[in-house]
Structure 1
Amino acid sequence: MDHRYICTHFGDDYHRFHGAVVPPIYENSLFVYEDFTRFVEAMKDEQNHYIYWRGTNPTVEIAEKKIAALEQGERCKLFSSGMAAISSAVLAFVRSGDHIVSVGNIYGPAIKFFRYLKKFGIEHTNVLSKNIDSIEKAIRSNTTVIYLESPTTMTFKLVDLPSVASLAKTNNITTIADNTWATPLFQNPLTYGIDIVVHSVSKYLGGHSDIVGGALITSQDIMDHIFYNEYQLLGGVMPPYEAWLLIKGLRTLPIRMKNHQESAIKVAQFLHQHPAVKKVNYPALKSSPDYELGQKLLRGYSGLLSFELKINTFDNVLSTINSLKLFKIGVSWGGFESLVISPNYGYNTEQLSEAGIDPGLIRISIGLEDVNELINDLDRALSSKTAT
């Protein structure tokens, strides 16, 4: 099914909503039944009946159908945040005495969550190397989950998803992959054998920096388990208004991603040639060590990348970021606006070293502004940083 059709029309069911071209927002907390017999029947299958907002809601369901189709998965459930989705996916497959392996640099709160689980007797190992042999060595007899992002956070290294999926299946381990960077348009981890895909819909899928939410996409069997346990019992579900905004964001996803990609490639090429820059972390560049793997796994590239300053002191990072005018300083990414941030806060050099992150690293999210203006902004900020 074509991506554009899925984003614009799939799941909208115009006939159900009196021909409304924009689906209505169902803000009601519950749905009533004409007789108790029908209610009892509906309770047998809460996933496919409207009973209570915390289970299934018509507005939320439309967005879920679109995202499931985009990711080529059987079911999707939307959550109130990316962390609600991540924690629900992980908790579905661990219990006291189990072990989690995470691969490469991943989202900071996800790492903190894995460490938090230690209080429940769940162990965690982070493997910085994306080498399949290193991942295999980290696996224990009690490992039940492998969690990863591809590309990885901040450093944007690609992970060989088919190899990790194959290794996990051999060892009866569940794989969870965050696909927020690539979006379903450019990568579908489920087709490589990954069990569960995670998205922060606050980023590209929403696209307008006006919602916070998360998504899980997986098989019907796995979703049956998550729906009746972690989804409903933890209660981190997406409200209908946020789902309505998400539907509107999805309408323009293919157009926005094309623009993000085209602009980011031009910015990356500019940075790659700049004398103040030591390295650009972006798999679309032919100079990237992951370029060939990207040609196999990815159909395109998003607008999030990082670069490392030759003079990698905190003062130089601070000066460079503060010199930018069009790039706004802020967390998150994937919206219409261009953003800049660094993991170097001036007091955490040791932690950066442990994570394999250069202290001169600056992350930028390329928005929808004119790319030449963005390049000029970067050039001005870097113009006094050319000393080597």
Structure 2
Amino acid sequence: MNSSYCAKIKEKHMKFNTKTIHGGQQNIDPAYGSVMPPIYQTSTYAQTTPGGHKGFEYSRSGNPTRSALESALASIENGEFGIAFGSGLAAIDAVLKLLKAGDEVISTNDLYGGTYRLFTKIFEGFGIKFHFVNMENTNKIEEYINSNTKLIWVETPTNPMMKIIDIKAVATIAKKHNVLLGVDNTFTTPYLQQPLDLGADIVMHSATKYLGGHSDVLLGALIVKDSELANKLYFVQKASGAVCGPQDSFLVLRGLKTLHVRMQRHCENGRTVAEYLAQHQKIERVYWPGFENHPNHNIAREQMKDFGGMISFETKGNSFERAIRIVESLKVFTLAESLGGVESLAGHPASMTHASISKDERDKIGIVDSLIRLSVGIEDVEDLIEDLKQAIG
């Protein structure tokens, strides 16, 4: 019985927190005994004869640091294959390259603006048709499925409206019609939700966010169980070349090792902030799946371990100016795009992350001018509450 097989057997019995540190990893690097995977900052590898190498030929097709990350990503998502890219959008781009002109995609209507832009401004031009559907009621999905449908693309919770989509129910529909199901798991991370175990075919992460966790790296990832699908995606990765470098791979590997403790604090702080905002007399509405009156709260409770640190809220009066005043007045929260870092961030979706979507479309899905999105960090929550108090007034 070989050592890699033994490691796999051992890993199946690991709890999640242990997997973030050891999953998919060699405990000791064979070269010099390094405990952490080294940064192999090289573009190419020596060969003893043409084709005679140690598993790596050229770093676009494979790099030891990136491979270590890909193995770790597969482990924590309970997948078999991890594929790392230069960004989350590069990872989504690779999935779309599995399709051809005439194919159709059904997607969440409340979608990250960058994904929406990629779908509508790039791939629609290549003859792929997209349907943007409110998936809170999964029964509506089948209305859009036909013989050309090849992919269902889901975000849950959605960005920024925090809608919850039943992954198991969508997976049942996808399998019934022989359609791939991809899930953007960026907001929740595998600490809170594991879509492959719920029936998804592909899990995507913008590892720039919670997986890296320190706002210092750009990286994207796909994780799958099926070897045939994995080989197609590895081919796209190699052929298109949107790979991440070894330094970025190392930073995300380092981030993964504290994912579980960070996520626990994100969730604790998120709950406290959400409850504070819900009681504030100047706040109209708070979107957070942990509230019992949140639509599909019961599904969130079933498919998520906790409810995360992402929160959106509207001020009373739907005033653009008031929302801008609040985000500009924050002192501990930083006004910035992105999310998932140790520091708390605030954003105004209508003018930042979702500005590429027209106002009419934004209003239809609830991204009104007064909407503010928070990525609650791991600071002392009392300081975060005080900051919101002074900014909201």
TM over 0.5: yes
Matches of residues 1-388 of structure 1 in structure 2 within 5 Å?
Answer: 1-10=14-23, 11-36=25-50, 38=52, 49-92=55-98, 94-115=99-120, 116-219=122-225, 220-228=227-235, 230-345=236-351, 349-383=359-393
Deviations, residues 80-127 of structure 1 (Å, cap 9, x unaligned): 0000000101211x1011111102311111111111212221111101
Tell me, in whole angstroms, the C-alpha distance in 2 between the residues paired with 1:37 and 1:279: 61
Q: Which moved more, 1:15-24 or 1:106-115?
A: 15-24
Gaps of 5+ in 2: 1-13
What is the DSSP-based 3-state SS (H/G/I as helix, E as strand, rest coil) of the residue aligned with 1:296? helix
What residue identity is the alignment partner of 2:385? I
Contact 1:103 1:135 in 2 (8 A): no
Question: Which digits, 9 at most, give the CA deviation of each residue in 1:243-290, with x for residues without a partner?
Answer: 111111111111111111100100001111111111111111223122
- Paired with 1:254 and 1:21, the residues of 2 have a C-alpha distance of 20
Distance in 2 (CA, whole Å) between partners of 1:139 and 1:223 is 24
Q: Distance in 2 between matches of 1:37 and 1:143?
A: 41
Aligned residues between the structures: 373
Secondary structure of 1:135's match?
helix
Letter in 1 for 2:160: M
What is the deviation of 1:308? 1.3
3-state DSSP class of the match of 1:83?
helix
1:329-375: per-residue Cα shift (whole Å, max 9, x none)?
11001011111111233996433213332332110111121100101
Call closer, same or farther: CA 1:233–1:196 in 2, change over 3 Å: same
SS in 2 for 1:16: coil
- Distance 1:283-1:17 versus aligned 2 partners, 3 A rule: farther
Q: How far did 1:17 drift?
A: 3.6
Distance 2:390 2:201 in 1: 45
SS at match of 1:243: helix
Q: Is the 8 A contact 1:76 1:215 kept in 2?
A: yes
Q: Shift of the alpha carbon at 1:213? A: 0.5
Cα distance in 2 for partners of 1:78, 1:271 equals 37
Change in CA separation of 1:341 and 1:50 when aligned onto 2, cut-off 3 Å: same
Contact 2:164/2:295, CA 8 A, preserved across alignment = no
Whether the aligned pair in 2 keeps the contact of 1:156 and 1:283 (CA below 8 Å) is: yes
Superposed displacement of residue 326, structure 1: 1.1
When normalised by structure 1's length, the TM-score is 0.92
What's the counterpart of residue 386 of structure 1?
Answer: none
- Structure 1 residue 129 displacement after superposition: 4.2
Q: Find the aligned partners of 1:17 and 1:257 in 2 and give their Cα distance.
A: 33
Alignment-mate amino acid for residue 246 of structure 2 = P
For the Cα contact (< 8 Å) 2:136–2:296, is it kept in 1? no
* Alpha-carbon distance in 1 for matches of 2:125, 2:189: 34
Greater shift in the superposed pair: 349-358 or 163-172: 349-358
Q: Quote the offset at 1:52 in angstroms.
A: 1.1
1:354 & 1:17 partners in 2: Cα distance?
Answer: 57
How large is the RMSD of aligned CA atoms in angstroms?
1.6
Percent identity of equivalent pairs: 35
How much does 1:306 deviate?
0.6
Tell me which residue corresponds to 2:9: none
Q: Is the 8 A contact 1:179 1:198 kept in 2?
A: yes
* SS of residue matched to 1:38: coil
**One-letter amino acid matched to 1:101:** I
Question: How many angstroms apart in 2 are the aligned matches of 1:148 and 1:195?
Answer: 11
TM-score, length-scaled by structure 2: 0.91
Which region of structure 1 is more displaced relative to structure 2, 10-19 or 290-299? 10-19
